[in-house]
Amino acid sequence: MLIKPFKCIPVVMMVLGCAATGTLVQASPGIADQLQASAVDSFRQARFSEAYGRFIALADAGHAPAADMALWMYLNGPTLFDKDWDSSQDQLKAWAQLARKPVPVMEGRAYPRLHAKAAKLAR
């Protein structure tokens, strides 16, 4: 199967963007602080998904303040933001270590009303 090159561009840009964030954070703490300020600005403007994405990119690159915020947003996602933020157990462990907090354990959640609606729609 032949994949058209232009369909791969968004994926490549996303991967390169994540790699670039890690390189910037390691190379210059000042740039990391600017990226952190940008994530905080997104949060203050109630662009929570955008803010979470920015925090996790920084946290995954080893920025402790961003790890603290990413961890806090993950833990409070369902209650405060009505969101189940994406994460992996490895990310949670790394963020908790950076933030010097206890490592949370991911829990499965069931959404019976959503499943019931989907079942009705499928009929």
Q: Which two tokens stand for residue 26?
A: 């390691």
Q: How many residues does the chain have?
A: 123
pLDDT at 114: 60
CB-based contacts of 99, cutoff 8 Å, min separation 6: 64, 67, 68, 71
Distance between first and last Cα of the chain: 34
What residues of the chain score a pLDDT lower than 50? Answer: 1-20, 23, 27
pLDDT at 106: 82
d(CA 52, CA 94): 16
pLDDT at 88: 93
Find the largest Cα–Cα distance for the chain: 56
